Chains A and B, each alone.
Chain A
């Protein structure tokens, strides 16, 4: 797999800490929902830094999109989600990964559980499911600290009106007046309430910070979900 040069078509502010980067990649072979790319930056003195980012766009989308969270100590993310502009070029390689992916033929029901920027690969799966207009029921449980930190907020509201799509938000730190969604950190009861029953045998994809994923995965197993139908992706404070 070789590095290729992508051109930035647009940079969209998603939240105060995240931005979506729309890219044109000559010769892009297409990707599966949930896959990654590696992005490499090279400084004038030759120093290189490389990070893995989930692809936010669906296979059906015309352009490749990454959504990057700007980390306080992030030497790559602070550039990508802070300084990058349309017309700039990036080195990337991909698509990468065969584990945390959902293809339409896998079927469902499809359960997506995301924490923070863990929503990014789940967004690709959700868009893929909607683009195929299939009958696979899908539920998304998305945990964010505050409403303003909900990435893709308007898109998720629109998606929730699609048939067979159920989207639940939990805001763990601060809720707006009149909030009727969940208001606590993920736990077993939340997974039981928002998710499909184990008897429905859903395919479950969990992505978020390590602690979030561990709680969700343990809850799923304790509720009787089959480990072989749960796929996880964790990230820590560094090098998302």
Chain B
């Protein structure tokens, strides 16, 4: 198991920008967190991102011949976030 940091390149290619700081809300349990923190499985058919709280599938990314198809049924919401950690 990896996390969202490891597939940042593929997400960036699919979405057109860095996605690791984007905060997702799980469509199953409602937990929120940056995509960098999701549990990622790269040996499934496609890349599978799962909720770290309830294990529901959030996102599946399939690549073929340089084209990307992203299944986001498991996500209730995607929100941009600040680019810096919580500062004092």
Residues of A at under 8 Å CB distance from B?
A: 1, 36-38, 52, 93-94, 96-100, 103, 106-107, 201, 203, 210, 226, 228-229, 231-236, 238-240
Contact = CB atoms under 8 A, between A and B. Distances in A.
A1 B43 CA distance: 24
Contacts of B83: 98
Given A106-B84, A226-B86, A239-B42, A38 B37 contact: no
B9 A233 contact: no
Given A228-B86, A229-B86, A238-B42, A96 B1 contact: no
Contacts, number: 82
Nearest to B33: A227
A97 B87 contact: no
10 contacts: A36-B6, A36-B8, A52-B7, A93-B13, A96-B18, A98-B20, A107-B87, A210-B1, A235-B3, A238-B43
Nearest to A232: B37
B9 A36 contact: yes
Nearest to A38: B9
B77 to A, nearest CB: 18
A107 B85 CA distance: 10
A100 B85 CA distance: 10
A121 to B, nearest CB: 9
Q: How large is the interface on B (under 10, 10 to 19, 20 to 34, 35 or more residues)?
A: 20 to 34
A52 B20 CA distance: 14
B8 to A, nearest CB: 4
B34 interface: yes
Most buried by A among B2, B37, B86: B2
Interface string B11-27: 01100001011000000
B36 A97 contact: yes
A106 B21 CA distance: 16
B84 A97 contact: no
Contacts of B42: 238-239
Contact of B9 (A96, A100, A107): A96
Contacts of A229: 85-86
A185 B3 CA distance: 22
Nearest to B1: A236
Contacts of A231: 36, 85
A107 B86 CA distance: 11
Given A1-B13, A239-B6, A100 B86 contact: no
B15 to A, nearest CB: 11
Contacts of A1: 9, 12-13
